[in-house]
């Protein structure tokens, strides 16, 4: 078996997927609240070589292990806080998440305890409902109010309040959408003309649902700058409290956390690696051509 040929092919596939991930990051670097992804590769399992050769176990030579390249396993989302950009729009909101966890350095991402338990940096997210009414999480707080008074995202997804119901901003007397609002640091909506709390249909003060995700690495990107959690992970989501040090800032949006300079450097590196593996395949092709057409010719 021509292991070098398969190794170069695996390298090309891995670099292509890395290139696609970086391209998506660059395309969304001006999208508010966008979180960049990073392609993660791992070595192709060495045990597979032993199985292919019919060996009961893998024998490692003194010179070291031999594998057949790398595999682009997944793309991990980097949940680092983006820079806040002031817009002075009363319906733009940014979430500042400074959740502290004992034993975890802030913005470290994760740590491993002496007992082997992995602890992740929790993150706070605005909560919206998709077309099916299911909760989704986002850091893009660029909202607006419809003619029916619904607070929605740019894509039309309805923003949820702390009671889990969509927020509706209607004057109870005139049924006209309320546009003069102020939001305090806890996400509570106030009437900017008199400072009184806005109430829902049940007479309860309206407050945006800010969700705390204890394990943000489990969030699955779903498009439109939304994330979801699988059913098995939904128990790790709670509503933030005052002790979580999460603040909602009105008139700001969070910029994407994509570093354009680093993204371009990474994309060029992936392209060069792709070309290098391509040259390896071309060299193998020439050597096989010579073996078939010239070696053994009488």
298 lies in a domain? no
Assess whether 28 and 146 both reside in one domain: no
Assess whether 125 and 7 both reside in one domain: no
Assess whether 60 and 204 both reside in one domain: no
Checking if the pLDDT of 47 tops 50, the result is no
- For 62-124, the DSSP string reads TTB-----EEEEEEEE--PPPPEEE---TTEEEEEE---BTTB-TT--EEE-TTS-EEE--EE
128 lies in a domain? yes
pLDDT tens digits along 182-236 = 999 999 999 998 889 999 888 899 999 999 998 888 899 988 899 998 877 766 7
Assess whether 123 and 18 both reside in one domain: no
295 Cβ neighbours under 8 A, 6+ residues apart: none
State which residues form the domain around 122.
84-254
Assess whether 236 and 91 both reside in one domain: yes
Asked if residues 176 and 131 have their Cβ atoms less than 8 Å apart, the reply is no
Assess whether 58 and 29 both reside in one domain: yes
Assess whether 102 and 230 both reside in one domain: yes
Asked if residues 180 and 162 have their Cβ atoms less than 8 Å apart, the reply is no
What integer best gives the mean pLDDT of the chain? Answer: 84
- Distance, CA of 282 to CA of 288 (rounded, Å): 10
Assess whether 21 and 39 both reside in one domain: yes
Backbone angles phi, psi at 240, to 5 degrees: -65, 155
Assess whether 210 and 265 both reside in one domain: no
Q: Is 289 helix (H, G, I), strand (E, B) or coil?
A: helix
- Of 2, 5, 16, the closest CA to residue 279 belongs to 5
Our count of domains for the chain comes to 2
pLDDT tens digits along 130-171 = 999 999 999 999 999 999 999 999 999 999 999 999 999 988
Assess whether 184 and 220 both reside in one domain: yes
Q: Is 184 helix (H, G, I), strand (E, B) or coil?
A: coil
Note the pTM of the prediction, 2 decimals.
0.80
Six token digits for residue 104:
């975890």
Give the pLDDT mean for 32-39.
91
Assess whether 91 and 221 both reside in one domain: yes
Above pLDDT 90, what percent of the chain?
49
Assess whether 106 and 131 both reside in one domain: yes
27 lies in a domain? yes
């Amino acid at each position: 078996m021509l292991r070098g040929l398969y190794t170069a092919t695996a390298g090309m596939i891995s670099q292509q997927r890395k290139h696609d991930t970086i391209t998506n990051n660059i395309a969304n670097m001006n999208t508010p609240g966008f979180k960049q992804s990073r392609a993660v590769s791992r070595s192709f399992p060495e045990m597979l070589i032993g199985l292919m050769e019919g060996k009961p176990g893998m024998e490692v030579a003194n010179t070291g292990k031999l594998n057949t390249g790398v595999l682009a396993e997944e793309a991990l989302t980097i949940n680092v806080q983006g820079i806040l950009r002031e817009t002075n729009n009363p319906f733009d909101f940014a979430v500042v998440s400074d959740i502290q966890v004992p034993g975890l350095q802030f913005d470290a991402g994760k740590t491993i305890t002496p007992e082997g338990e992995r602890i992740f940096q929790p993150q706070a997210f605005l909560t919206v409902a998709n077309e099916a009414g299911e909760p989704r999480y986002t850091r893009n707080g660029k909202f607006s109010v419809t003619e029916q008074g619904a607070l929605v995202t740019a894509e039309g997804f309805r923003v949820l309040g702390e009671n889990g119901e969509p927020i509706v901003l209607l004057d109870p007397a005139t049924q006209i959408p309320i546009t003069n609002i102020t939001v305090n640091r806890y996400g509570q909506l106030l009437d900017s003309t008199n400072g009184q709390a806005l109430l829902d249909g049940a007479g309860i003060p309206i407050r945006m649902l800010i969700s705390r995700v204890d394990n943000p690495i489990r969030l699955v990107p779903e498009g439109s700058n939304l994330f979801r959690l699988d059913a098995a992970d939904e128990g790790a989501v709670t509503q933030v409290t005052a002790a979580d040090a999460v603040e909602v800032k009105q008139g700001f949006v969070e910029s994407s956390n994509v570093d354009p300079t680093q993204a371009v450097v990474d994309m060029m590196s992936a392209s060069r690696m792709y070309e290098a593996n391509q040259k390896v395949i071309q060299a193998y092709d020439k050597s096989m051509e010579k073996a078939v057409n010239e070696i053994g010719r009488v």
